[in-house]
Structure 1
Amino acid sequence: MAAAGERRKPQATSQATGATVTTSVPARLDRLPWSRWHWTVVIGLGTVWILDGLEVTVVGNIASRLAQPGSGLHITSAQVTGVAAALYVAGACVGALFFGRLTDRYGRKRLFLVTLGLYLAATALTGLSFQPWWFFLFRFLTGFGIGGEYAAINSAIDELIPSAHRGRVDLIINGSFWLGAVGGSLLSILMLDTAILPAALGWRLTFALGVLLGLVILLVRRHVPESPRWLFIHGRGEEAEALVADVERRVTEETGRELPAPAGEITIHQRRDIGFAVIARTVFRHYPRRTALGLALFVGQAFLYNAITFGFGAILTRFFAVPADRTGYYFAVIAIGNFLGPLALGKLFDTVGRRPMISGTYLGSAVLLFGTAALFGAGRLTAVTLTACWCAVLFLASAGASSAYLTVSEVFPMETRAMAIAFFYAVGTAAGGISGPLLFADLTGSGVVGDTVLAFCVGAGLMAAAGVVAAFLAVPAERRSLEEIATPLSAAPATPRPATPSAPA
């Protein structure tokens, strides 16, 4: 074994597919201390969730302005919040599945550059809209790029971040969506003020600022490497070894300490592609319990969020006479609570453990939402106290929702990772963006207290059900290597592992 931090001679002997290689790359990545290099990965990859939050919030807030005469676009508010929103959701679902397959086949880096490029182009062209059909088309393509980002980015992050930090980093990154939501709310207030900018210009500049932020992220992202785990499985073992050796050298120079020896090796049969049938069979036949867990987590959080947020403005205006132009301030407060949940609780997913924290956040948020429903039904809440209740619910629910992405990105074999993320994301997004609005639109918009209470209870009930599923099926993945949690499909059958792989569940 070479000394820690020393550049190793590549262990892979062939670039061709079909070669059998033994490598310690996963163990070497997992035993790295946190460093500036890891911050580069987080900033380059993780900040896209801020863009997504900015996008969704901005479009919702500019709907009324776009419908006004003089906006430069002949479109109704209902078309923006209905047709355009549905197309964005549909684009995200299709994009996740399409790019998820390509990410597993062609690599993480190639796809996370392509998807961000598509997002930037589509957002810029949305800002140039002159007809409704143009606006709808590029809202779909913007969602298409964002959906692809979820698959490419989550898989890359999990494969580059050390196992000791994977849970908290993943949760905080997914929770940063809500920082974008806060920014979108405040940016809309400024950019839509006709005393500052003309009505036909402000909303266009809002999209332009999103593009500018995306370009900055793209510049940082260019320096994020391909996943070494993906490289060594796909016949590029020497490249993976050289990349990890370079990172080890940087970390050693930064810390001034030698790295501990890696915990073990893995032997794999290199191959360039895994067929879709193999991926589907692996996820559904070999890991049915984990598949059930992923579906429960995604559907539960999707319905809880729709129960609260779909009729958010209508509830405040109808029941508490909050002016429509002031609901954005309440939303900003709720968005901050959403981000604070993963930020404060993320570390516990790596220390207390996945199962108690996932089930605890799901069940806890459900109990709080049931309590909120009871108080609302009894007429004991004001706009301020209802918002406080929502903040408490979403403080836990946001950590739980983020852990859903963490779960599906780490409990399936590496060769299926991006596609698994894409599948569960698409199911959750479809449930939230299609079934949710169909169910909650009439309930929260009727003006009847009992209907809104029922909406809250439906969301809370599905979240509680997901929490119960997690209590029994959640995988204790904390501080464990990805290869230990789910043995790669390419692994040689009788090869020593860093630890005994868990049996498929």
Structure 2
Amino acid sequence: MSTTAASTGTGVPVVKSLVPARIDRLPWTRFHWMIIVGLGVSWILDGLEIQIVSSVGTVLQDRDTLHLSTGDVGLMGSIYLLGEVVGALVFGRITDRVGRRKIFMITLALYLVASGVAGLSFSLWFLLLFRFLAGMGIGGEYAAINSAIDELIPSKYRGRVDIAINGTYWGGALIGAAASIFLLNPDLLPEDVGWRIGFFIGPVIGLAIIGLRRHIPESPRWLMTHGRLQEAEDTVDEIEAGIEAHGTKLPPVDESKALEIHPQESVSYRQIARTMLRDYPSRSFLGFSMMVTQAFLYNAIFFTYALVLANVYDVKASHIGYFFFPFALGNLAGPLLLGHLFDTVGRRKMILATYGGSAILLAISAALFGAGVLSATTQTIFWCVIFFFASAGASSAYLTVSEIFPLELRGQAISFFFAISQLAGGVAAPFIFGKLVGDGSDRGPLTVGYFVGAAIMLAGGLIGWFFGVDAEGKSLEDIADPLSSVKRTEARGGTRFQGAAPKG
């Protein structure tokens, strides 16, 4: 269904393709479930890794293990986050150049090996090295996986799928928390054995799905924009044949949605900067704001909730884990139950509702916290409800940055904003709120901090409302023209084909 059209007048061939239209008109099938299971596991693995490291920190300080200091334990978490940032930036660039499929196989393999080897650590430097490499694998997954999911899932379902998958981070955290109860119990396993097994849980999950990934094709959209038109058509042919083999009748393709492009191999950093800062400045501001505001709130609360329970509410350290489960369940339920509304009610409305709703609830809880009327249980209930909305909002930030920029730089756009959010939220927020908690004797500073967090989250929601893009139900190519797109423009000075202008 692709044919070579006229040239642009500069010798560059123009190709007409229905690949995007064919993908977007597909009904939901087993093929799409394979995409979710095969690719969506990345977020589960990240949540698992963060929770395992959080749980084993105290054990690794014991003389019978690695005998780390508290600073060493903190460094172990920081080095993993740094690895994620580096991995996202490195593999985000590569996945836009060489394809989605190669990278999501490499990054998963890197994570599997590095996380498993970390469980064999005999010293701090060895542990930090392989924690960094495991983080690189997961960071690279984010860029390649979100790109592939967006480009393979039909436009009608893209929002709910992306948001639900992003929310499964908390499913991984729950697995890690549950596992730690057994693995770190010295009555069941020796101290120097249980924590090591914990680092093998992720690789076991990864091994279970790496075979499934071998059956996931390269993104036909990526193939199309890189001049591999026949491969793109053959890939869609195979997808359609597999769907029809199970008795599903496919609707006809709308020929009017054919896309005209002049393929190009790669995009320079100069083109990326020009596209994001000159062509799409409001979208860049939107992506930056949404990612940073949700990351600030998340890291501020998540990395200090144990301190609040222990120092303010006098919860025993051995009991804090039990308060984590309802907190994580609220985070997991939000994206799963609210995700479809981003496709039906709309992106901008739901961004404002989730960001704004969590901000209002946080402000209410801050007032009650400052008044001293909350207990550890009621505080946790508030957190559950707050993050039911905030988790869906945070997931929509990842959805937003992955769909509002041209296809040729999608992986890099995801990696840039992911890196910014990790550095801004992961470094500043825990430090600031940790200081505000103090010894728990004075609630005033933390109350102010909660109000500030609420204001920041509300600002993110308002920015999403005023600068957001109504992307629900739209093809990726309708949201942002590919850099290689060409349009017929008779009204523009007599050239038959001309580069497509940005859409906001």
Which interval holds the TM-score relative to the shorter structure?
over 0.9
The residue number in structure 1 matching 2:297 is 304
Alpha-carbon distance in 1 for matches of 2:433, 2:70: 19
Where in structure 2 are the equivalents of 1:332-481 lying within 5 Å?
332-447=325-440, 448-481=442-475
The answer on 1:179 being equivalent to 2:178 is: no
Q: Structure 1: state its 5+ residue gaps.
A: 1-7
The answer on 1:136 being equivalent to 2:128 is: yes
Q: How much does 1:126 deviate?
A: 0.8
The residue number in structure 2 matching 1:5 is none
The residue number in structure 2 matching 1:4 is none
Q: Structure 2: state its 5+ residue gaps.
A: 6-10, 491-499
Question: Structure 2: which amino acid aligns with 1:212?
Answer: V
The residue number in structure 1 matching 2:60 is 66
Distance change (3 Å), C-alpha of 1:63 and 1:241: same
The residue number in structure 1 matching 2:284 is 291
Alpha-carbon distance in 1 for matches of 2:324, 2:70: 19
**From 187, 190, 206, the counterpart of 1:195:** 187
Identical pairs, percent: 50
Q: How much does 1:313 deviate?
A: 0.6
Q: How much does 1:502 deviate?
A: 8.2
1:4-48 Cα deviation digits (max 9, x unpaired)? xxxx6x6469xxx95421100000000000000001111110111
Alpha-carbon distance in 1 for matches of 2:4, 2:70: 58
Q: How much does 1:411 deviate?
A: 0.4
**From 140, 153, 158, the counterpart of 1:166:** 158
Alpha-carbon distance in 2 for matches of 1:336, 1:254: 36
Q: Is the 8 A contact 2:279 2:502 kept in 1?
A: no
Q: How much does 1:225 deviate?
A: 0.7
Q: How much does 1:495 deviate?
A: 7.5
Where in structure 2 are the equivalents of 1:21-420 lying within 5 Å?
21-71=15-65, 73-80=66-73, 82-262=74-254, 264-420=257-413
Could you say what the CA RMSD is over the residues aligned between the two structures, in angstroms? Answer: 1.7
SS in 1 for 2:488: coil
Alpha-carbon distance in 2 for matches of 1:22, 1:495: 15
Distance change (3 Å), C-alpha of 1:495 and 1:232: farther
TM-score (ref. length: structure 2): 0.94
The answer on 1:504 being equivalent to 2:498 is: no
Q: Is the 8 A contact 1:11 1:238 kept in 2?
A: no
Q: How much does 1:468 deviate?
A: 1.0
Alpha-carbon distance in 2 for matches of 1:23, 1:261: 12
SS in 2 for 1:20: strand
Q: Is the 8 A contact 1:35 1:254 kept in 2?
A: no
Q: How much does 1:253 deviate?
A: 2.5
Question: Structure 2: which amino acid aligns with 1:181?
Answer: A
1:50-98 Cα deviation digits (max 9, x unpaired)? 0100000010011001111212x13123311x11111111111111111
Question: Structure 2: which amino acid aligns with 1:381?
Answer: L
Q: Is the 8 A contact 2:84 2:135 kept in 1?
A: yes
1:123-162 Cα deviation digits (max 9, x unpaired)? 0111011011111111111111111111010010000000
Alpha-carbon distance in 2 for matches of 1:339, 1:18: 48
Alpha-carbon distance in 2 for matches of 1:103, 1:367: 39
1:208-237 Cα deviation digits (max 9, x unpaired)? 122111111211111111000000111111
Alpha-carbon distance in 2 for matches of 1:455, 1:122: 37
SS in 2 for 1:47: helix
Alpha-carbon distance in 2 for matches of 1:504, 1:60: 43
Q: Is the 8 A contact 2:27 2:250 kept in 1?
A: no
Question: Structure 2: which amino acid aligns with 1:62?
Answer: V
